Structure 1
């Protein structure tokens, strides 16, 4: 049996999947990310998890895909910019380290790009040709799938919808002001309500708390406005939304739909907005899909 592996390195958890060439998940494992210990430790933890999966599910490993937070040089397989949550990560040569350890080809993607690859390959956006992927978590990430292929732009920053301005005047984590992230991220929802986490706000909203409901309504309305901007520029037909905030989809969906109904896309065609289907596996499966595509096995995503 042959397999490709996908690794999603997040600030808290690293998710590893072992997939058949058709991207069916053979086994999975999540482990803590030693983000404060540097790139070598983070890759080491991921590789240890992958070796455990290979011991549990013997297969000939063909290649490995890695999805990583931050700005990456996918062609060189290197992290360019990382947040303060990661020590010794910016500049780290990810694919070289994986190839050296496993003696198989390795490929690197930004984690949101990997998320979108996963959802197009096996999730909510299967068959989509013009898709915006959006993750609503601590921050807001985005990725573009245009004409049936990932589009990352000449500098790797295409699709970064979370840092589109025009959403008020609050400071953003990137140093700008009024970005979508300042309204629609988990951090922003919590701050608007005065809670520590968006989960607390969601719990209050489910109890009918009007201020909590207003925080989610503002987030959903802002997301819809960002989608209309993307649709107007790129004629996307579908948006798939994941991340921790999207797990409370019933709180977001009504305001997104209301805003889109009030001002539909300029094309006159409805924009399909879907919750992600693959959960915490999405970016890891997408990373595996990238590896399979590069190696010419399985689904060409």
Structure 2
């Protein structure tokens, strides 16, 4: 028996190590998923081809008619033009690559591009830990610290596209940041910072944040202290944001958030010691979608863009009726 094909939207998360691909129903339920290594050293075409191959394999075993594709990519992107503007040195031949044009040509469906942190928050707001919350800030703690802002039920990029970038708020000491500034939140709360600060304390250089977390769980007081410092810094950034924007809902994702049990106590202690002036409780939760968040958020962007285009077409057609 051949089942009728349902409509579907694809979401792609192109990270420096792995690429996640999901196939979502219109309500963003994940129908199928795949994870493949990212050939980050081989250029934009190779990375896009890898994602397309994974998506094609999902479509081959899932009875679905693909309507559109959303992509979340690390770095600075031009969402309107559908290309990457600036990428880290982990990626070769990625800056300037025409992501959406390549996908449209390969699949014959509309494609959309987002910064990965924006896509993360879209996913969490659509179907994750802050679903239905009108105002929220999303943070990803990975190699760096990223942020995105959700206001009045929609992503808010700001006049220059940098709203919500909490990772590069200064006032957290004087350590040099990867962006060229000093004393940013990223210098304390990123995975790279956690490994480096543990090395400074113990002389054990080169450990990942995951390894430091494992050491903390095994009773290493230096490792626990590094995570406590990161949690306290995270709480301070949250309090600053709450005071400025009156946003009281926060969702945290990224690889470092897997050690949320090490970060959360310091976050809770700091928030309890200095509640916001509004008197409203601050909610800080870990991602509800986990590793699917960016890809689901990218699929959400494709669904919403196509829905808006369809509604605009219907309005235009109705206005032309005699």
What is the TM-score with the length of structure 1 in the denominator?
A: 0.97
Q: Does 1:198 align with 2:209?
A: yes
- Paired residues for 1:114-153 under 5 Å: 114-153=119-158
**Matched residues in 2 for 1:133 and 1:244: separation?**
14
**Matched residues in 1 for 2:277 and 2:17: separation?**
40
Partner of 1:244 in structure 2? 255
Partner of 1:56 in structure 2? 61
**C-alpha offsets along residues 190-242 of structure 1, whole Å, 9 cap, x if unaligned?**
11111511111111111222111110110000000001111111111200001
**Matched residues in 2 for 1:38 and 1:107: separation?**
20
Please report how far the alpha carbon of residue 270 of structure 1 lies from its aligned counterpart in structure 2 after TM superposition. 1.2
Q: Give 3-state SS (helix, strand or coil) of 1:296's partner.
A: helix
Please report how far the alpha carbon of residue 290 of structure 1 lies from its aligned counterpart in structure 2 after TM superposition. 0.5
**C-alpha offsets along residues 89-147 of structure 1, whole Å, 9 cap, x if unaligned?**
11111111111111100011100000011111111111111100001111101000011
**Matched residues in 2 for 1:137 and 1:266: separation?**
30
What is the TM-score with the length of structure 2 in the denominator?
A: 0.91
Q: Which residue, out of 56, 73, 85, partners 1:80?
A: 85
**C-alpha offsets along residues 263-293 of structure 1, whole Å, 9 cap, x if unaligned?**
1112111110001011110000000001001
- Paired residues for 1:1-301 under 5 Å: 1-194=6-199, 195=205, 196-296=207-307
Q: Give 3-state SS (helix, strand or coil) of 2:32's partner.
A: strand
CA RMSD of aligned residues (A): 1.2
**C-alpha offsets along residues 150-182 of structure 1, whole Å, 9 cap, x if unaligned?**
011222211111011111111111111111000
**Matched residues in 1 for 2:63 and 2:105: separation?**
21
Is contact 1:111-1:283 (8 Å) kept?
yes
Instruction: Count residues in correspondence.
Output: 298
Please report how far the alpha carbon of residue 58 of structure 1 lies from its aligned counterpart in structure 2 after TM superposition. 2.5
Q: Give 3-state SS (helix, strand or coil) of 1:267's partner.
A: coil
Q: Give 3-state SS (helix, strand or coil) of 2:48's partner.
A: helix
Structure 1: state its 5+ residue gaps.
Answer: none
Is contact 1:73-1:156 (8 Å) kept?
no
**Matched residues in 2 for 1:280 and 1:179: separation?**
26
Is contact 1:6-1:66 (8 Å) kept?
yes
Q: Which has the larger radius of gyration?
A: 2
**Matched residues in 1 for 2:104 and 2:248: separation?**
37
